[in-house]
Amino acid sequence: MKKIGVVLSGCGVRDGSEIHEAVLTLLAIDNSGAKAVCLAPDIELDEVNHLTMQDTGAKRNVLVEAARIARGDIADVKTAKAEELDAIVLPGGFGAAKNLCSFGFEGPKGSVQPDVLKLIRDMAAAKKPICAICIAPAVVALALGKELAPKLTIGNDPGTAQGINGTGSSNVECPATECVIDRDNLIVSTPAYMLAGSIAEAGKGIEKAIKATLELIK
Amino acid sequence: MKKIGVVLSGCGVRDGSEIHEAVLTLLAIDNSGAKAVCLAPDIELDEVNHLTMQDTGAKRNVLVEAARIARGDIADVKTAKAEELDAIVLPGGFGAAKNLCSFGFEGPKGSVQPDVLKLIRDMAAAKKPICAICIAPAVVALALGKELAPKLTIGNDPGTAQGINGTGSSNVECPATECVIDRDNLIVSTPAYMLAGSIAEAGKGIEKAIKATLELIK
């Protein structure tokens, strides 16, 4: 059974993984007959109250909160080995841009959390597929942009697209119900809630992205 | 467009709504062309660390945490009016048994959170469908058991089934991929993670339960 690493960044669209995208990723992996291996970095996040959408000033732990989405079945991304995974998927949510990397604050000058960076680089070096959803292509762009110049989705916000292009990657426009496949670099991406108006719309793109990712596994 | 109230109990299987069940409920409602109206009580919950599965001793707010699943689009269940909804759905998770009612601590002698109780009773009185997933049939059993003696799923744990039967309701065994429809009382239920071994399995039952619920709307 294929093992697909799912790199989470917390639990909630404003300070962690976008929950719908993460769950629809797990559903698509299971429906494809593969096994999801949930992973997250053991670092702090800045808590956002999702009712008021205000920063609370408090901290939570990314791995502990991501465990909610994984129903407890999750490991520190530091322990993940590229040789034990067939592909990885990064769902979106602001946590991808704020916890997995600093794109949300620093744009193309940002850096990637070291454990996540190592996993992404190891997967790319091993020619194994990487799938990124919503804003998560920013993590891949920062990790691999200069070296591989991947083609990625990021929605249609000009500033964000410019940020992606500034990493050496290229933004490709694509509707939420579809995905973009960079066959040279084995990188799949879909805009999900960067563009989607509904969960069903995001789900269609995620389902296609996961299917395409699994088909790229050699 | 039909409006379906989705009554959440937090965000996480051990102290709130089971996240997969809640998201798959929102997906099924959207796929059916109806509109989900997320609701939760404005009360405290006892936080559980989902990595260690231990109580932390800290409190969180049910409505604020449930807002993570709803991407902020949620209202206090106290403000919900049965006349403005066509049906309601209660996803599972321990939050249903601990926050929406006290079945988790007191079994059939438990009580239902007053705002949730009012909404369930008002929906039943208006002959509008109620759908309950996983352990959430316990909330419906406590709210309506004595009056309506509904037939409900709760999985196959003998103690839990006995608790349900003790409310005046009757437990009906059913696989996770199916649902039970009590046509006399317009109550639909599916066991989801009370029995499901995977997210895809839970999803099949939830999809059927939401479809059946929408078909019962007059």
Taking a C-beta distance cutoff of 8 angstroms, is the pair B144, B108 a contact?
no
Q: What share of chain B in percent tops pLDDT 90?
A: 100
Residue A31: list chain B partners with CB under 8 A. Answer: 200
Using the Cβ of B1 and the Cβ atoms of chain A, whether some distance falls under 8 Å is answered with no
Confidence of residue B89 (pLDDT cuts 50, 70, 90): very high
Average pLDDT of the residues in B100-120: 98
Report the alpha-carbon distance of residue A183 to residue A117 in Å, rounded.
21
Look up residue A197 and give its DSSP letter.
S
Whether A19 sits inside 8 A of B19 (CB atoms) is yes
For chain B, say whether A138 makes contact (Cβ under 8 Å). Answer: no
Give the pLDDT confidence score for residue B215 in this predicted structure: 98
Which amino acid is located at B62 in the chain?
Answer: V
Contact residues, chain B, for A72 at CB < 8 Å: 13-14, 50-51, 53
E strands, B3-155, in order: 3-7, 35-40, 44-49, 54-61, 74-76, 87-90, 130-133, 151-152
State pLDDT tens for residues B25-54. 999 999 999 999 999 999 999 999 999 999
Looking at residue B18, what is its pLDDT?
A: 98
Q: Given CB atoms, is B71 within the 8 Å cutoff of chain A?
A: yes
The torsion defined by the Cα of A39, B99, B32 and A133, in degrees rounded to 10, comes to -20
End-to-end CA distance of chain B: 13
How close is the nearest chain A Cα to the Cα of B125, in Å?
31
Catalytic residue positions of A, numbered? 134
Q: Taking CB atoms and an 8 Å limit, are B199 and A30 in contact across chains?
A: yes
Residue at A34: amino acid letter: A
Asked if the C-beta of B198 comes within 8 angstroms of chain A's C-beta atoms, the answer is yes
Question: Given CB atoms, is B68 within the 8 Å cutoff of chain A?
Answer: yes
Q: Are A27 and A33 in contact (CB under 8 A)?
A: no
**Is A3 in contact with A81 (CB distance < 8 Å)?**
no
DSSP assignment of B161-190: HHHHHTTT-EE----TT--EEETTTTEEEE
When CB atoms are compared, the residue of B70, B74, B203 closest to A27 is: B203
Tell me the C-alpha distance between A49 and A171, whole Å: 31
Could you give the C-alpha distances from A203 to A2, A138, A174, in angstroms and in order? Answer: 21, 20, 15
Residues pairing with A40 in the sheet: A76
pTM: 0.98
Q: What pLDDT score does B204 carry?
A: 98
Residue B19: per-residue pLDDT: 98
Question: H helices within A11-129, ranges in order?
Answer: 19-31, 62-69, 94-98, 103-106, 114-125
CB contact B11 to A (< 8 Å) = yes
Count of CB pairs separated by less than 8 Å, A with B: 89
Pairing of strands A180-182, A187-190: antiparallel
**Which residue of chain A is at minimal alpha-carbon distance from B19?**
A69
- What is the structure's pLDDT at B185? 98
The radius of gyration computed from the CA coordinates of chain A, to the nearest angstrom, equals 15
Summarize pLDDT for B121-180 with one digit per residue, the tens. 999 999 999 999 999 999 999 999 999 999 999 999 999 999 999 999 999 999 999 999
pLDDT digits (tens, 9 = 90+) for B4-19: 999 999 999 999 999 9
**Per-block mean pLDDT, blocks of 10 residues, chain A (218 long):** 98 98 98 98 98 98 98 98 98 98 97 98 98 98 97 96 97 97 98 98 98 97
In angstroms, the Cα distances linking B156 to B135, B159, B168 are 11, 9, 18
What residues form DSSP beta bridges with A76? A40
Residue B115 near residue B79 (C-beta atoms within 8 A)? no
For position A178, what pLDDT does the model report? 98
Give chain B positions within 8 Å (CB) of A71. Answer: 13, 18-20, 50
Closest CA to B192 of B207, B212, B211: B207
Q: How far is A147 from chain B (nearest CA, A)?
A: 35
User: Which chain B residue lies closest to A26 (C-alpha atoms)?
Assistant: B199
Rounded Cα distance between B18 and B22, Å, is: 6
Of B13, B64, B69, the CB nearest to A71: B13
Please give the DSSP secondary-structure letter assigned to residue A184.
Answer: T
Give the pLDDT score at A80: 98
Helix (H) or strand (E) holding B104: helix B103-106
Contact A21, A192 (CB under 8 A): yes
On whether the CB atoms of residues A66 and A27 are closer than 8 A, the answer is no
Question: Would the ipTM clear 0.95, i.e. be above it?
Answer: yes
pLDDT above 70 covers a percentage of chain B that reads 100
Contacts of A49 in chain B (CB under 8 A): 64, 67
Residues 19-38, chain B: which have Cβ within 8 Å of A?
19-20, 23-24, 26-27, 30-31
Query: Residue B20 and residue A24: Cα distance in Å, rounded?
Result: 9
Tokens of A98: 């704020």
CA-to-CA dists, residue A181 to A89, A123, A153, A215, B102, angstroms: 14, 16, 10, 11, 50
Asked if A199 contacts B23 with a C-beta cutoff of 8 angstroms, the reply is yes
